[in-house]
Structure 1
Amino acid sequence: MKKIIFALSICIATCTVAQDYKFGKVSEEEVSEKFYPLDSTADAAYLYKYRRTYMDYSQNVGFQLITDVHHRIKIYTKEGFDYATKSIFFYDPDKGSSESVKGIKGYTFYIENGKLESEKLSKDGIFKEELNDFNSSYKITMPKIGEGCVIEFKYTIVSPYEKYIEDVEFQKAIPIKKLECKIEYAEFYVFNKTSKGFHTVPMKTDSRSNIIGSTSFRTNIFSFDDENIPALKNNEPYVANINNYRGGMKFEISQTNFLAIGGEFKNYATSWENISKEIFKSQSFGEELEKTSYFKDDLEKILAVAKTDDDKINAIFQFVKKKVKWNGSYGKYTSKGVRTAYKENAGNVADVNLILTSMLREAGLNADPVLVSSRGNGVPLFPTNKGFDYVISVVKFPDNSYVLLDATEEYSVPNILPVRALNWDGRIVTKDGDSDWVKLSSTNHATEENMVIVKVTDDLALEGFIRTKYDNLNALNFRRNNNHLKEEVLITKYEENNKIEIDEFKIANEEDLDLPVTRSVKFTSEDLVETINNKVYIEPLLFLTQHNNPFKLEDRKFPVDFATAWKDITRASIEIPAGYKIESLPEALAIGLPDNIGVFKYQVQELGNKIKTVSVLEFNSPMIPPQYYAFLKDFYGKLVAKQSEKIVLVKI
């Protein structure tokens, strides 16, 4: 009976909220709602999410793509305040046709003194930001934000690039109560439509008649309507891009046919081979690779010293990293062009790595660019021109081995790419425009090795030493995250995270990329030994113990993405004080995952007056498919339980 009453209360709460989605017609019931009826954990929810994308024709301009957006969002908690800030991104190059944003309007609705009030979005709450040479955004900051308020805004994007329809998003990080979306385009255009993610919305099709001059044509209409769409949150670790798994629909141009109105018929790339050739033929890609005179003198100096292939690769790679700094912009095409980037010592991803590729070729190496979809760009599931937004370089050898290089990363070394570029496979594009896939992940495990030597003092405190070595991708990440920080900051962070006091602290090989990074710390602690009823309890791995299982979902539909294979090894030695003996030690454990995906080995032994512990955690694949998730969750559960077991000492 209680379940029936609860279900009815949800239905009543849902149904009593006004269903008028006309802009500005927010009801008092919507503002008064305390939580989202179908997900009480939601910090915010779309009460209404509307989009209409359609084509408009004018004699002077031709077809343009118009997108009208209207969002109504309920904010339940302070954590939902982020949704009161909206960025509208649009293409805005220094040269060429730009998109424009028009008709930005917004209101915040709230209850004050028992009365429904509203605050209009002012011009002061709208800021234009230039993001890079090609893109800008209007940032909207809604006024009068508070828990319980409802915000509403709308705007229109006008684009001359009518062949590029943005993906339709069915699902977000917060629930959607009501979704309405229409995509309309003239029959002269043919788009491939591909669904993505785990939430699907049925597509309704329709059409209507239109006329251009004396020519009549049909406009195809595709509608998506849904209600009560659950959130897909990114609340678990090791997810490269959660948008890969949120429901949606992709529209990719397949062909245009304007023969009926005196134009031409054109097929667009429908395979990865064709897409790669199309990119290669671009003036901002293939032609840029052919330019060499601008670096001729510098290359001669390099080759005067570097004679072997390995020496040439390393010398040119390090030279380009220092000569042309990455400006933070992605792109498969150059932004400034290689000559200008070289002269100004800065450029986007394509500028930097096409310069690198060109110099390697001129040095007599078999080098090619590699097209990549960065982790932020997602994983392209079908051939699409939008599938690549990043470029790296490859040098191939007669024995079919190869070296991958990314000169945008200051701390990278050959075959160790930054995480942003580690996204499944890349596409090698050869000198004649042919292409093929290449694995981006390194065959070398990212490693962390800890050696801990401590002794328990007579007053049951700890004093000792820890040496940590980071190699491969772990070394790159350590340098990126820490090399810019002052030593006192690093010491404070390490002390706070590990409940210790540091006496000596040293990091070696911060800048020597050929060697692993090492950190040596001499420390004391009074927080790592526990005394209960005259017994002493110590965790064998001390502050390196993993206490929490990172995997908490009952079921996970998307893979666990580590970015690389990795291995953590810890060897710890604890000297027990005089007058104490060991009552018990944790038993050894060795467990593995199916198909040699991973292994955990753990052993604690008594050797004289010392307790020696060895812990090895190793994953041999950068990605674990969802069908192994239950095994992985159980694996980590056993790991956490074992590492949390304690050494027990008693007085003699």
Structure 2
Amino acid sequence: MKTFYFSLSLLLISFLVMGQTPEEFNYRVSLSDINLTHYEKDSTANALVLFESGKSYVDNKEYDLNTEVKYKIKIFNKEGFDEANVQVLLYKGDSRHYEKIKDITATTYNLENGKVEKYQLDKNDIFKEEYDEKRTLVKFTLPHIKEGSVITYSYKVISPYFFNYYPWNFQGDIPKLYSEYQASIPANWEYNIKLTGAQKLLINKSDVEKDCLRYISGASAGCFKAFYAMKDIPAFVDEDYMTSESNYRAGISYELKEFKGFDGTVTKYTKSWDAVDNEVKTDQNIGRQLKKSVDAKDLLSSGILSEPDALKRAKAIYKYVQNNYTWDGHTRIFSETDVKDLVKNRSGNIGSINILLHNLLEEADITVKPVLVSTRQNGFPTKLYPVLSDFNYIIIQATINGKNYLLDASDKFNAFGYLPFRCLNQYGRLMDFDHGSQWIDLNPKSTSVMMYQVDVDFDDDLGFVGEVSGKSKGYLAMNLSESYYPNPDQYVEKLQNTSPFIEIYDYEVPDQNESDDTFEESFKVEYNPENTGDLVYINPFIIRWWNENPFKLQERSYPIDFGYKKSFMYIYKLNLGEAYTVESNLKETIVTLPNNAGRLALSSKVLGNTINLTMRVDFKESLYAPEFYPYLKKFLSKIVDIQKNSVLVLKKV
């Protein structure tokens, strides 16, 4: 028998007797399951997984990877009916190699007139359709669903693919009482295994079975058998300011590291970074494209190429690519669009656009290197071992006068030296083909700032009128540019709707480039204050940074990722002249986050007949640990409350 090798990441395994399913959890439907009316640990749950299990193994006939799954789900109300719609995606490589599904069974259990009725899924109600060129969708809906139903279904997936051993998600969109997974992995296959999420395993046991897999030649292999289980698993609820769910959902995933054939051959799938660097360097869609010469004189003006200042030269080239080539929305590191085709067609994927940027900068004597990135929605690339498939995006690092600039020319509103928000995923891999690749930090070092100054006066004829000037910098400025330039009228209308107690007119944006890292605006306002007798009520906050608190969960087990540090400043001056006096002013407020990671400061003072108000909010970190969630939730609630409900009470003289 071959020696058994197993590589495990983030998961401690003790070689014990295989685990067993606890007696209180099983696939059988009981009367107590049917009579269950709610889930005590989550009263908002529309449905509840009572039991689910998965079992993966390699069969001894076709040597395919078989996975058997079973689900038992309680449906509490109509909002939970969607759990009865089951979809399974099957991968297909070609006409001979594809995944199959078999042994589908599904049953609905209802309590009707004091009796449990069972309704079986008709085989004719199982449908198959082409999902895309690489996947087939199999779907079915359990029959006779109503509030209070219990459903069970099971099936087997047969796969010829071993690169990604069947993954298991312990956590889903609804809570689960119990979830278990068994894996039997032949010794020929060596996997890197990763446990994700904050939930703890109830059962984590393993064993080795001898001669579990036999080949026609008479050779055999042992199997590593693992049993994992969790219970009382809360639903995973996504919320603003998070990266990909795959980073945080509780689950186990596998990636093939090495295969050992019975003839002694060894195929390595997980390589060293030196090997990956060489692979990228020689790949015809990356490395060779990076080396393709581009006749910069045919594309760039003589003024750009002759610019003596390297930074100005680089910015001009960046703007040329940004303004003349359109990203087709595809995120992949292997550029299927040749750089020359991009120049001809003016459109291509992210690889072709940024490789063109790389080559033009290099032609202009700028030091450049490609950086492999995984976007926020794609998940974190693992640092434990090289996995090229973790990356789906290429950006460029340019070094000018000893300073590094990260560049992506695919976004029309992105300023030089700023990455699109989708790329702010903590770290990327700088591909230095001469000295070896390395991890680099993608988080912006500077703080993005938004500041508004409002000056309001009382006029005997016009009432309360004022002028507003705003200036933003960094990502907050680029957000405003992206919102304003495609449709200025819609932008102003949205600004008007956030403050129904004012009328906006004479809105202006000075002459500025839409890809600048600053955004300036100015406009005039006329108040429509609430009056009660001699009293006038004015909300001083014409600009609101949040209309509602984005944090609504009771608790959050994953980080709060803003992507960048941010600071907000609001300065308000109200001159009452001789017509009004201040009856009631705002109270001074200071709120700080733990470890001084954020601060809210509100000050409002009356000097003569003038009210001077200042509010500043600082988020001093771009990434906050889950432990900060209750503090951030309270912090945002205070900001929203101040801007939405603050009132200055004025009295007629």
TM-score (norm: length of structure 2): 0.80
Q: CA separation of 1:430/1:109 partners in 2, compared to 1, >3 Å: closer, same or farther?
A: same
What is the CA distance between 1:448 and its match in structure 2? 1.9
What is the CA distance between 1:79 and its match in structure 2? 4.5
Find the aligned partners of 1:339 and 1:149 in 2 and give their Cα distance. 60
1:403 aligns with 2:412: no
Q: CA separation of 1:284/1:222 partners in 2, compared to 1, >3 Å: closer, same or farther?
A: farther
Farther off after superposition, 306-315 or 211-220? 306-315
Mapped contact 1:125–1:142 kept (Cα < 8 A)? no
Could you say which residue in structure 2 is the equivalent of 1:233?
Answer: 237
Find the aligned partners of 1:590 and 1:204 in 2 and give their Cα distance. 51
Find the aligned partners of 1:547 and 1:227 in 2 and give their Cα distance. 38
* Cα shift readout 1:107-152 (whole Å, capped 9, x = no counterpart): 684859766656658679654333xxx7546374747776555566
Find the aligned partners of 2:368 and 2:181 in 1 and give their Cα distance. 46
Farther off after superposition, 452-461 or 181-190? 452-461
Higher helix share: 1
Gaps of 5+ in 1: 1-14
How does 1:174-185 map onto structure 2 within 5 Å? 174-185=174-185
* Cα shift readout 1:520-544 (whole Å, capped 9, x = no counterpart): 4444454x5464x854443432563
Find the aligned partners of 2:583 and 2:100 in 1 and give their Cα distance. 72
* Cα shift readout 1:193-227 (whole Å, capped 9, x = no counterpart): 33222112233324352211221112322222333
> Partner letter of residue 228 of structure 2?
F
Find the aligned partners of 1:92 and 1:417 in 2 and give their Cα distance. 35
Could you say which structure has the greater relative contact order, defined with CA pairs below 8 angstroms and 6 or more residues apart?
2
1:216 aligns with 2:217: no
Could you say which residue in structure 1 is the equivalent of 2:164?
Answer: 164
What is the CA distance between 1:565 and its match in structure 2? 1.0
Find the aligned partners of 1:110 and 1:372 in 2 and give their Cα distance. 48
Q: How large is the Cα RMSD of the aligned pairs? A: 4.1
1:605 aligns with 2:612: no
What is the CA distance between 1:367 and its match in structure 2? 0.8
Farther off after superposition, 580-589 or 78-87? 78-87
Find the aligned partners of 2:79 and 2:371 in 1 and give their Cα distance. 40
Find the aligned partners of 2:123 and 2:575 in 1 and give their Cα distance. 66
Q: CA separation of 1:630/1:18 partners in 2, compared to 1, >3 Å: closer, same or farther?
A: closer
Pick the aligned partner of 2:452 from 450, 453, 460. Answer: 450
Find the aligned partners of 2:473 and 2:174 in 1 and give their Cα distance. 39
Could you say which residue in structure 2 is the equivalent of 1:418?
Answer: 420
Q: CA separation of 1:500/1:541 partners in 2, compared to 1, >3 Å: closer, same or farther?
A: closer
Mapped contact 1:491–1:505 kept (Cα < 8 A)? no
Pick the aligned partner of 1:52 from 50, 55, 71. Answer: 55
Find the aligned partners of 2:435 and 2:123 in 1 and give their Cα distance. 51
Find the aligned partners of 1:625 and 1:176 in 2 and give their Cα distance. 25
Mapped contact 2:451–2:470 kept (Cα < 8 A)? yes
Could you say which residue in structure 2 is the equivalent of 1:138?
Answer: 137
Mapped contact 1:323–1:342 kept (Cα < 8 A)? no
* Cα shift readout 1:496-522 (whole Å, capped 9, x = no counterpart): 333246453646368531263344444
Could you say which residue in structure 2 is the equivalent of 1:20?
Answer: 27
What is the CA distance between 1:638 and its match in structure 2? 5.7
Q: CA separation of 1:166/1:529 partners in 2, compared to 1, >3 Å: closer, same or farther?
A: farther
What is the CA distance between 1:56 and its match in structure 2? 5.1
Q: CA separation of 1:300/1:604 partners in 2, compared to 1, >3 Å: closer, same or farther?
A: closer
- Secondary structure of the structure 1 residue equivalent to 2:377: helix
* Cα shift readout 1:471-493 (whole Å, capped 9, x = no counterpart): 32123323444544472x44543
Could you say which residue in structure 1 is the equivalent of 2:565?
Answer: 565
Farther off after superposition, 97-106 or 280-289? 97-106
Could you say which residue in structure 2 is the equivalent of 1:11?
Answer: none
What is the CA distance between 1:365 and its match in structure 2? 1.7
Find the aligned partners of 1:437 and 1:477 in 2 and give their Cα distance. 28
Could you say which residue in structure 2 is the equivalent of 1:496?
Answer: 497
* Cα shift readout 1:610-642 (whole Å, capped 9, x = no counterpart): 322121212232112345556545655665666
Mapped contact 1:70–1:153 kept (Cα < 8 A)? yes
* Cα shift readout 1:170-194 (whole Å, capped 9, x = no counterpart): 2223211332322232211112333
> Partner letter of residue 358 of structure 2?
T
What is the CA distance between 1:47 and its match in structure 2? 3.4
How does 1:460-539 map onto structure 2 within 5 Å? 463-481=465-483, 483-485=485-487, 487=489, 489-500=490-501, 502-504=503-505, 506=507, 508=509, 512-514=514-516, 516-526=518-528, 529=530, 531=532, 535-539=535-539
Mapped contact 2:236–2:249 kept (Cα < 8 A)? yes
Mapped contact 1:42–1:175 kept (Cα < 8 A)? yes
Find the aligned partners of 1:414 and 1:313 in 2 and give their Cα distance. 9
* Cα shift readout 1:547-569 (whole Å, capped 9, x = no counterpart): 86655667654332111011111
> Partner letter of residue 617 of structure 2?
L
What is the CA distance between 1:429 and its match in structure 2? 0.4
Mapped contact 2:452–2:571 kept (Cα < 8 A)? yes
How does 1:638-649 map onto structure 2 within 5 Å? 639=639, 644-649=645-650
What is the CA distance between 1:570 and its match in structure 2? 1.2
- Secondary structure of the structure 2 residue equivalent to 1:474: helix
Mapped contact 1:451–1:467 kept (Cα < 8 A)? yes
Gaps of 5+ in 2: 1-21
How does 1:193-272 map onto structure 2 within 5 Å? 193-201=193-201, 202-206=203-207, 207=209, 209-213=212-216, 214-235=218-239, 237-258=240-261, 261-269=262-270
> Partner letter of residue 170 of structure 2?
F
Mapped contact 1:91–1:98 kept (Cα < 8 A)? no
Could you say which residue in structure 2 is the equivalent of 1:291?
Answer: 292
Find the aligned partners of 1:178 and 1:608 in 2 and give their Cα distance. 67
Mapped contact 1:28–1:116 kept (Cα < 8 A)? no
Could you say which residue in structure 2 is the equivalent of 1:76?
Answer: 76
> Partner letter of residue 182 of structure 1?
Q
* Cα shift readout 1:256-296 (whole Å, capped 9, x = no counterpart): 222xx214224454666665555445443323322335878
Mapped contact 1:169–1:249 kept (Cα < 8 A)? yes
Could you say which residue in structure 2 is the equivalent of 1:435?
Answer: 437
1:378 aligns with 2:370: no
What is the identity percentage for the equivalent residue pairs of Structure 1 and Structure 2?
Answer: 25
Could you say which residue in structure 2 is the equivalent of 1:346?
Answer: 347
Q: CA separation of 1:129/1:553 partners in 2, compared to 1, >3 Å: closer, same or farther?
A: closer
TM-score (norm: length of structure 1): 0.80
How does 1:553-592 map onto structure 2 within 5 Å? 556-576=556-576, 578-590=578-590, 592=592
Q: Report the number of matched residues.
A: 620
Find the aligned partners of 2:150 and 2:314 in 1 and give their Cα distance. 57
Find the aligned partners of 2:294 and 2:335 in 1 and give their Cα distance. 17
Q: CA separation of 1:648/1:91 partners in 2, compared to 1, >3 Å: closer, same or farther?
A: same
Q: CA separation of 1:549/1:300 partners in 2, compared to 1, >3 Å: closer, same or farther?
A: closer
- Secondary structure of the structure 2 residue equivalent to 1:190: strand
Find the aligned partners of 1:79 and 1:447 in 2 and give their Cα distance. 42
Farther off after superposition, 168-177 or 283-292? 283-292
Pick the aligned partner of 1:388 from 391, 395, 418. Answer: 391
* Cα shift readout 1:312-333 (whole Å, capped 9, x = no counterpart): 3223323333444323232332
Find the aligned partners of 1:485 and 1:110 in 2 and give their Cα distance. 54
